[in-house]
A and B are shown apart, each in its own frame.
Chain A
Amino acid sequence: MEELFKHLIGKQSAKVKNSVERGAVKKFAESIGDIHPIYLDEETGRNSRYKGNIAPPTFPRVFDYGTIEDLNLPNKGLIHGEQTFHYERPLLVGEDIYCYSEVKNYFEKKGTMGEMGFLVLESCGEDTSGQIVFSSKSTVIISEAVRKVLVP
């Protein structure tokens, strides 16, 4: 089978401005049962070394990273294999973050579900001065059955 996404390696989305919204952080922290005052309580934030509230480490799941041209992933049938985050510092509630994604790698190999595709997407966030705050990598596994639907 053709290497479905190989030609997209290196393609990047345009940066999208996101805000670390207080309400979104609260909803997110509640949804993972991590209702610590460092995320939610303004006074705790002010008195902390961060001088404000911070967001949980997996909060970047919420951000909009823009669209990578020609990367048409199905919204069903994908398997999330692996996820990493790297931080320079925690995200601060109220700051603006510029987010983008890039196709880092694509390869195929035989697995338990036939010839499987592995797509590695890197997603990054920069602060308003252009400094990277976090980078993350998602490995998405695309089964043979799903890939057959994608290939015309």
Chain B
Amino acid sequence: MTLQEIQVGDSLEDIQLEPVDRITLIKYAGASGDFNPIHTIDEEAKKAGLPGIIAHGMWTMGNLSKLFTPYYEEGFIQDYQIRFRGMVFLNDQITLKAELKEKAANQLSFLVKAVNQKGEDVIKGEVVYKKYED
């Protein structure tokens, strides 16, 4: 599907992530420069009152935008707004979702979210996709 054909209420195809593992979060820490130890070291997470390490919110937000990567020739993400609503723990199974909410001439507004295996939204927000005119 191209974004030319999408209608309000349609969804992009969901992406199911592999269960979250520690090495993934260590890699994100290194790539992003966010070395807050609650994302990588169990004892630090526990000291912070968490049951275990949690994913960086920005890791989940970074993943969610890949729903739109295949359409780079048609446009780009102009606005990306996210609220962090729940924590992502090790072994969580995250599904990425985007549904078209509004369609204007050069702009598509999607409701986007990442949902865990219990059906809870862990992040939720909006993507405004700007379409190129030519």
A positions within 8 Å CB-CB of B: 24, 27-28, 30-34, 36, 38-39, 48-50, 54, 56-58, 61-62, 75-77, 79-87, 89-90
Contacts and interface: CB of A to CB of B under 8 A. Distances in A.
Contacts of B33: 61-62
Contact of A33 (B66, B77, B82, B84): B66
A75 to B, nearest CB: 7
26 contacts: A24-B31, A27-B30, A28-B32, A30-B31, A31-B27, A32-B62, A32-B63, A33-B63, A34-B63, A34-B66, A36-B69, A39-B69, A48-B73, A56-B62, A57-B77, A58-B58, A58-B65, A76-B48, A77-B48, A80-B84, A83-B57, A83-B61, A83-B81, A83-B82, A85-B81, A86-B78
Interface string B53-73: 000011101110110011011
B17 interface: yes
Interface string B19-62: 00000100110111110111000000000100000000111011
B83 interface: yes
B62 A34 contact: yes
Main secondary structure of the interface of A (DSSP, over half): mixed
A5 to B, nearest CB: 19
B76 A89 contact: yes
Interface of B: 17-18, 24, 27-28, 30-34, 36-38, 48, 57-59, 61-63, 65-66, 69-70, 72-73, 76-84, 132
A31 B78 contact: no
A18 to B, nearest CB: 12
Given A28-B32, A33-B17, A49-B73, A80 B63 contact: no
Contacts of A31: 24, 27-28, 30-32, 59, 62
Name, among A31, A50, A76, A85, the residue most crowded by chain B CB atoms within 10 Å (CB to CB). Answer: A31
A82 B83 contact: yes
Nearest to A84: B81
Contacts of A24: 31
B76 A90 contact: yes
B27 A30 contact: yes
